[in-house]
A and B are shown apart, each in its own frame.
Chain A
Amino acid sequence: MESAQFLPGTLHMLVLKTLARGPMHGYAIAKRVKEASVDGLIIEEGSLYPALNRMLVKGWVSAKWGTSENNRKARFYSLTPLGKKQMQTEADEFERLVSAIQLAMRTV
């Protein structure tokens, strides 16, 4: 499911970060993640939806059916306060992990 390039858990973080800008439907999230990472991160778009569902279960995001920009019925996801907190925790954690790896790469 996850492409090899993904560090585990980073998909959640990216999605949460994307949603911080405002409610979005699934396709928009996928497009946004792809664009922002300038093709550096390739995700199988289908794997986005299970991740969204997991976050729904966790209560990090909420979903609502609405009308898309081209007037189609679409499901809009938005960040909950809990999700905001989670995003911060994950981002900090990721930062810590990356700097630890960098430190290790320099010293070894």
Chain B
Amino acid sequence: MSQALEWLRCCAYFFRRTGVDHELEKEASLHIEMRSAELEASGVLRAEAIVQARREFGPVLRMQENSREAWQFAFLEQTVADLRYASRQLLKSPLFAMVSLLSLALGIGASSAVFSVVYGVLLHPFPYKGAERMVSLGFLLSGREVQDLLKTNVFDGAIAVDSWDMSATGKNLPEAISAGKLSANAFEYFGVPPLLGREFRSSDGPLGKEPEHLVVLSYAFWQSHYGGDATVLGKVLQLDHVDYEIIGVAPQQFALFHSDVYVPLRLTNDPDRIETVDARLKAGITPAAAEARLQPLIESFAKESPKHFPPNVKLHLTKLNAETEQRFQGTLMVLFVAVTLLLAVGCANVSILLLGRANARQHELALRSALGASRERVVKQLFTEALLLAGIGCLLGVGLAYSGIPLILRWLPENSFPNNAAIQVNGLVLCFSILAAFSAAVVFGLWPSFRSSRPDISRVMQEHTKRAGGSIRGQQLHTALIAGQVALTVLLLAGAGASIRTFLQLYQSRLGFDPRHLLTVGLQFPDGTHLQIDERQNFYSLVRQKAAQISGVTAAAIYPFGFPPQAHFTRRLEIFDQPSTQGHAVYTNPVSREFFDALKIPILQGRIWSEQEDQRAAHVVVVNEAFVRRYWFAGNVIGRKLRLPNFKAFTWWMLARPNTNDWLEVRAVVGNTPNNGLSRPVGPAVYLPYSLVLGDSFHLAIRTKGPPLAIAESFRRAVHTADPAQPVNRIATAEELLSREGWATEQFVAKLFLLFAALALILAAIGLYSVISFAVTQRYRELGIRMALGAQRTAVVRLIVASASRAVSAGLMGGLILCVLSNGALKHWTRGSMYDSGVILFVAVLLLLVMTVASVGPAWRATTVDPMTALHHD
């Protein structure tokens, strides 16, 4: 109560403080007057009386100030005054302010933004319930087998999933829609509530029965096709000529398979209708323990239906985000380290700048002390300045972090995340960066008050007027900071160099085909159409012919799915007369004869099979160079025989010719193209006529004269004339496909690394520049004397640069040692290596060049010192 009243009184004071000041003055003069009158009355002379009264009273101004301070708000006023003073100081040296703020903002913003992506991708990638316990079985199972699995008490839930393309029908042109087919219990399993309406549930698709025709829209599809209209519920979406009722919209974070819509999957007891199975382990059961417990069950499944399982079946559970983790862990860890280095360089920069300023302000602070400022007062003022600087810097940093995340996400390769809504600024890291930058700013902002408990006022004041050289102690700290900064910059530059080299190697690595002017298109039959193998082949062939006839197309080839750098699938190999090869895996690509022509894959030996052989599904094969190196060291390859014992697909959507497992005759050898990703060596591969096995979807590779996407529309029309119900599902240029395949990832890493390294280099250069400028200012008189005594300009420059070059070379050495030490770690995470003479040489030269420019500028300024001015300089 009394506290509140006190506060109110203070508030009241705050609004009439000029009045109060006036009153205090009046009171003081009245007091002195009364006292002198009294003294005068006792016989003292008037003039003397006034002097004595004044002496007895003490300093009037201090009394006023102390009285004002009594009103508590004095503290606030002081702070406001300090802030005003501090901002004036910052405005007075805008370059200093800008550079410090930039260093802080970059350190905080860049590190938080990148770590937030790390967190979003690796640590919290899925919005599902118990996502960390979700595993994929890696086998296709029937509905009954799934039921058996669930009875084992290892899982607390399982779903069957399938990603499928359907056509939206009922409109003029059929449109391809990617559908996630999920067993009806899927949404209960994932535990993700709908954004709108409801999701389908177990009762909507019981085992062995046709599921209800219900559809849940993905958020993206709802936005793009219905404009986010909430009245969409209950409407009908026709898919493959069947009406589906729209019952709900999934939330934005739910992006399984990146499908457009989700429909219930038909789960049957039919052993041939088998699906991919995902399951969630019970809490406390590790994947390894689960594998051990389930292995006998899987073996019994394999015994019952051997054609659905590989021989010697071995259960391997894959964690849900294992793939993403594997692909990005290294990249993101390296980037995070890079960003931490950048934060450190930024902090060092702020420290250097503040340190230089602190030294320059010694005189001002000594003056303040001389005029009676208490040490607490000086510390408070310096603290306010540091706080102001750090506060603005941190605000900018936070802004940068928030605006940086969308930028990074835009840079990321497409579809590289399970979902893209969960990536937000990570509060913890933001706090960490802010704390780091803030501490640097405050510690070094308060530096002058640390340097001596009470400055020797007279010494500083006199020294300043007579000083010839700077203090040794300040310079040592500067040297250490610069050296540290340079070392970290070297590390960053080398890391950037290594990652750019990796990218360039990928770029230049022989693709073995020409991705330019090459279009790929994918078609998928609407469910339940083209069920006869001959009809399928005719349709494939018809579409290919129509594509080849489009003007501007030079070649069109059929391939089912695998496009370099991926193979279609692997099959077991057996070479005639070489029984030891039995069981070896070989990359297998069923293609039409034009494939090599369309991709411009060179033919090294023999001839490709003929069109007639394509038509009648002849037992012929073409092998790649890697195959020849691996299996036929010498001798003629053409005419030899091999077979693929498990070639006949066990997947029900594939139709195969009889005798596909028979011997195939080798007709030609072609050049290598990557078939196991861009970065891994090319494996042995075989190509055989597409007509041997025909799936319900296929692709065409179309070589064009001009820009490949220009013919996309003509192709759509051509397909429409072949079959009005047939949509075109996928259209992408070969170059786009390549960028999805790691190409873009490497490019992304290289770009980010380069950005960080450039920023670090700039910050380090600025740090060095300000240190040398500072040294020049400090040694102004000394330089003037030297010049007056006849020193050469070059000698003066050398003098100034010498100290800087010590710091830079120490930093360079330290940085190179750091590179060697951390190279192992980098290699562990990515394929790049910093231990590369080219990279190291480049880094060293670049660094020395930048550092020379940064240091010679201010040093040259030193030589323009006019001796007379310098000697008179305070």
Q: Is B836 an interface residue (CB 8 A)?
A: no
Q: If the complex has contacts A1-B66, A50-B70, are A56 and B9 also in contact, measured as CB distance less than 8 A?
A: yes
Tell me the bound Cα distance from A75 to B31 in angstroms.
11
Contact A47 B58 (CB under 8 A): yes
Contact B6 A59 (CB under 8 A): yes
Report chain A residues within 8 Å CB of B66: 1, 47, 49-50, 53
Contact B56 A44 (CB under 8 A): yes
New contact pairs (19) apart from A1-B66, A46-B58, CB-CB < 8 Å: A25-B30, A30-B31, A44-B56, A45-B31, A45-B35, A45-B56, A46-B28, A46-B59, A46-B63, A49-B27, A50-B63, A50-B67, A50-B70, A53-B71, A57-B10, A59-B5, A73-B26, A75-B26, A82-B2
Q: Is A106 an interface residue (CB 8 A)?
A: no
Contact B9 A46 (CB under 8 A): no
Interface residues of B in 4-52 (CB under 8 A from A): 5-6, 9-10, 13, 23-24, 26-28, 30-31, 34-35
Q: In angstroms, how far is the closest chain A Cβ from the Cβ of B769?
A: 48
Tell me the bound Cα distance from A53 to B71 in angstroms.
7
Contact of B70 among A44, A53, A74, A82 (CB under 8 A): A53
Looking at A25, A50, A56, A72, the one whose CB has the most chain B CB atoms below 10 A away is: A50
Report chain A residues within 8 Å CB of B841: none
Tell me the bound Cα distance from A93 to B67 in angstroms.
26
Tell me the bound Cα distance from A50 to B31 in angstroms.
14
Interface residues of A in 31-67 (CB under 8 A from B): 44-47, 49-50, 52-54, 56-59
Report chain B residues within 8 Å CB of A58: 2, 6
Tell me the bound Cα distance from A30 to B2 in angstroms.
28
Q: In angstroms, how far is the closest chain B Cβ from the Cβ of A71?
A: 12
Q: Is B653 an interface residue (CB 8 A)?
A: no
Contact A46 B35 (CB under 8 A): no
Report chain A residues within 8 Å CB of B62: 1, 46
Report chain A residues within 8 Å CB of B28: 46, 49
Q: Is A26 an interface residue (CB 8 A)?
A: yes
Tell me the bound Cα distance from A75 to B26 in angstroms.
9
Report chain A residues within 8 Å CB of B288: none
Chain A at the B interface: SS class: helix
Report chain A residues within 8 Å CB of B34: 27
Q: If the complex has contacts A57-B6, A82-B2, are A26 and B67 also in contact, measured as CB distance less than 8 A?
A: no
Tell me the bound Cα distance from A77 to B23 in angstroms.
13
Interface size class of B (residues with CB under 8 A): 20 to 34
Query: Which single residue of chain A is at the shortest CB-CB distance from B72?
Result: A57
Report chain A residues within 8 Å CB of B68: 53
Contact B63 A47 (CB under 8 A): yes
Contact A57 B23 (CB under 8 A): no
Closest 7 pairs (CB-CB, A-B): A46-B58, A50-B66, A46-B63, A53-B70, A44-B58, A53-B67, A54-B70
Tell me the bound Cα distance from A73 to B34 in angstroms.
12
Q: Is B148 an interface residue (CB 8 A)?
A: no
Tell me the bound Cα distance from A45 to B39 in angstroms.
15
Tell me the bound Cα distance from A53 to B9 in angstroms.
11
Query: Which single residue of chain B is at the shortest CB-CB distance from A45?
Result: B57
Interface on B for A, CB 8 Å cutoff? 2, 5-6, 9-10, 13, 23-24, 26-28, 30-31, 34-35, 56-60, 62-63, 66-72
* 28 examples of A-B residue contacts, CB within 8 angstroms: A25-B30, A26-B31, A27-B30, A27-B35, A44-B58, A46-B28, A46-B58, A46-B59, A46-B60, A47-B58, A49-B24, A49-B63, A53-B67, A53-B70, A53-B71, A56-B9, A57-B6, A57-B9, A57-B70, A57-B71, A58-B2, A59-B2, A59-B5, A59-B6, A72-B30, A73-B26, A73-B30, A75-B23
Query: Which single residue of chain B is at the shortest CB-CB distance from A75?
Result: B27
Report chain B residues within 8 Å CB of A47: 58, 63, 66
Tell me the bound Cα distance from A25 to B66 in angstroms.
19
What mask results when residues 1 to 44 of chain A are scored 1 for a CB within 8 Å of chain B, else 0? Answer: 10000000000000000000000011100100000000000001
Q: In angstroms, how far is the closest chain A Cβ from the Cβ of B458?
A: 26
Looking at A46, A47, A49, A82, the one whose CB has the most chain B CB atoms below 10 A away is: A46
Q: In angstroms, how far is the closest chain B Cβ from the Cβ of A54?
A: 4
Q: If the complex has contacts A53-B71, A56-B9, A59-B6, are A26 and B27 also in contact, measured as CB distance less than 8 A?
A: yes
Report chain B residues within 8 Å CB of A53: 66-68, 70-71
Interface size class of A (residues with CB under 8 A): 20 to 34
Tell me the bound Cα distance from A49 to B66 in angstroms.
8
What mask results when residues 74 to 108 of chain A are scored 1 for a CB within 8 Å of chain B, else 0? Answer: 11000000100000000000000000000000000
Report chain A residues within 8 Å CB of B6: 57-59
Report chain A residues within 8 Å CB of B5: 59
Query: Which single residue of chain A is at the shortest CB-CB distance from B5?
Result: A59
Query: Which single residue of chain B is at the shortest CB-CB distance from A58?
Result: B6
Tell me the bound Cα distance from A56 to B58 in angstroms.
22
Report chain B residues within 8 Å CB of A75: 23, 26-27
Tell me the bound Cα distance from A30 to B31 in angstroms.
9
Tell me the bound Cα distance from A52 to B26 in angstroms.
15
Report chain A residues within 8 Å CB of B30: 25-27, 68, 72-74
Tell me the bound Cα distance from A52 to B58 in angstroms.
16
Tell me the bound Cα distance from A57 to B69 in angstroms.
11
Report chain A residues within 8 Å CB of B59: 46
Tell me the bound Cα distance from A67 to B29 in angstroms.
15
Contact A49 B67 (CB under 8 A): yes
Q: In angstroms, how far is the closest chain A Cβ from the Cβ of B438?
A: 34
Report chain B residues within 8 Å CB of A49: 24, 27-28, 63, 66-67
Tell me the bound Cα distance from A54 to B6 in angstroms.
10
Q: In angstroms, how far is the closest chain A Cβ from the Cβ of B797?
A: 56
Report chain A residues within 8 Å CB of B31: 26-27, 30, 45
Tell me the bound Cα distance from A44 to B56 in angstroms.
6
Q: In angstroms, how far is the closest chain A Cβ from the Cβ of B49?
A: 14
Report chain A residues within 8 Å CB of B69: 50
Query: Which single residue of chain A is at the shortest CB-CB distance from B68?
Result: A53
Tell me the bound Cα distance from A72 to B71 in angstroms.
27
Report chain B residues within 8 Å CB of A52: 67
Tell me the bound Cα distance from A53 to B70 in angstroms.
6
Report chain A residues within 8 Å CB of B35: 27, 45
Q: In angstroms, how far is the closest chain B Cβ from the Cβ of A24?
A: 12
Report chain A residues within 8 Å CB of B24: 49
Report chain A residues within 8 Å CB of B27: 26, 49, 74-75
Tell me the bound Cα distance from A105 to B56 in angstroms.
34
Tell me the bound Cα distance from A27 to B23 in angstroms.
14
Q: In angstroms, how far is the closest chain B Cβ from the Cβ of A70?
A: 8
Tell me the bound Cα distance from A77 to B26 in angstroms.
15
Tell me the bound Cα distance from A50 to B13 in angstroms.
14
Report chain A residues within 8 Å CB of B67: 49-50, 52-53
Tell me the bound Cα distance from A74 to B523 in angstroms.
101
Q: If the complex has contacts A49-B63, A53-B70, A72-B30, are A59 and B9 also in contact, measured as CB distance less than 8 A?
A: yes
Tell me the bound Cα distance from A68 to B35 in angstroms.
14
